Structures are given as structure tokens and as C-alpha cells.
Amino acid sequence: MPPMITLYGIPNCDTVKKARDWLTAQGVDYSFHDFKKQGVPTALLPGWIDAVGLDKLINRKGPTWRKLDDATQASVVDTPSAMAVMQEHSSVIKRPVVVWRDGSVTVGFSPESFAGRPV
């Protein structure tokens, strides 16, 4: 049996809710990893950054990023510094992050982007 699809995010995020609803409506079996309860999976962050890029993974337009002080925002210059900020402020991670059965990683949700995935 192929590995489980894992959706990472926070449960009260509207985009995460839409993604979970879509997967459920399609009858797709997946697991949900709640950043708030389970933390950010540190060991997976470098792979996510390699897969989608730092600029796509960090949501610099969201309220959490905007509330960070200038020094913290300016400190995000490379993978280690970005990982430190993402671990401390999980809501700066664009959501949802999905690791698909084939190991590919996507960020965000649209029905069109999910429809072509190996579920």
C-alpha cells in the first residue's frame, strides 16, 4: 500500500478547511498534522523548502508575518534562519502543505491543483 497523504496546517485556516473538505468529498484517505498541537516537523522543513522554495513556503503577506518585528523579518535570509522562524511562528507557513503519496510536496489549495494529484 502506498504511503498516506499528509496534510499539514492549522484547523481554523479557511484554506486548510477547503482542502480537507475537498479530500473528504473525493473519498481520499489522508492524515492531518496540526501545527498548533503537534508542532512543525523540523526534519521535513528542508525537503519542503527544496520542493517548493522558501518564497512560496513562507507567507509574507499574512497577518502573522506582518506582526513580526522588523528584525525577525530581516533575519530570514536562508534555510536555517527561515526554519527557526517557521518553528517559532508556525502560522507564517503558507497552508496547507501537502505531502502526496508519491512524495511530492504542494503548498496552498485549489480544486484544480489537487485534482491532478496521485490520491
What residues are labeled active site?
Answer: 13
Helix (H, G, I), strand (E, B) or coil at 97: strand
CB atoms closer than 10 angstroms to residue 15: 16
Question: 73: Cβ–Cβ under 8 A, 6 or more apart, which residues?
Answer: 65
CB atoms within 10 A of CB 118: 10
DSSP element (H, E) containing 33: strand 30-34
Q: Are 4 and 97 in contact (CB under 8 A)?
A: no
Say which amino acid occupies 33: H
